[in-house]
Amino acid sequence: MAAFKYEKLTQIIEDLYLNGYTKNAISKAIGLSPNQVAYILYTKLRMHEKAPRMAISTNLVENMPKQVVNRIIQLASWGYNKKEIAEETRLPYNRVDILIREATKKNLIKILV
């Protein structure tokens, strides 16, 4: 029986997916085609069942790792713009934008500068 040839990449792909990366962004980051990433995400890992996107995007402040949320809030408080924060944290811009909007509504971001 043949071994799963992308076994070493599955954890990396799963972590990126849970941090909000799309399959196209994951494919660019690790050098696989979008079809290969989709195969790993949806056939091997069954991520659409374990962590559907709607559940992740409904409340990012609560669902994303606390370290990442705290870092984004800290950078936003110090006056960094969303693009700079996305580059610093290596998250997609749209995730950073949504998280900052949610944190602002909850008064978690206090401008220090």
Q: How do residues 21-35 score in pLDDT, each as one tens digit? A: 888 989 998 999 999
- Give the domain extent around 101: 59-105
Whether 48 and 64 map to the same domain: the answer is: no
Whether 42 and 13 map to the same domain: the answer is: yes
Neighbour-count burial of 67, counting CB atoms closer than 10 A to its CB (0-12 exposed, 13-18 middle, 19+ buried): exposed
State the total domains in the chain: 2
CA distance 2 to 9: 17
What is the full DSSP assignment across 55-76?
HHHH-HHHHS-HHHHHHHHHHH
* pTM for the full predicted model: 0.51
CA distance 53 to 81: 25
Predicted confidence (pLDDT) at residue 1 exceeds the cutoff of 70: no
